[in-house]
Structure 1
Amino acid sequence: MAHTVEWKVRLYLFEDEGTTKARAVLNTGTTELTGHGAAHRNPADRDVPEIGDELAAGRAMHDLGRQLVGVAQRDIEGMGAGATERWARPETGWPMPDRQQGR
Structure 2
Amino acid sequence: MANTVEWPLRLSLVEEDGTTTARVVLRTRNATFTGHGTARRSPEDPDVPEIGDEIAAGRAMRDLAGQLLRTADDELEGVGAAPPRRERRVAYGWTSEPA
Q: Report TM bin, short chain.
A: 0.7 to 0.9
Gapped runs of 5+ residues in structure 2?
91-96
- 3-state SS of paired residue (2:77): helix
Alignment of 1:42-61 (within 5 A): 42-61=42-61
Alignment of 1:7-86 (within 5 A): 7-86=7-86
Gapped runs of 5+ residues in structure 1?
88-95
Fraction of identical pairs, as percent: 55
Work out the number of aligned pairs and report it: 93
Q: TM-score, normalised by structure 1?
A: 0.81
Give the aligned residue type for 1:4. Answer: T
Give the Å deviation of 1:97: 5.6
- 3-state SS of paired residue (2:20): strand
* Superposition RMSD in Å: 2.1
In terms of Rg, which structure is larger?
Answer: 2
Q: TM-score, normalised by structure 2?
A: 0.84
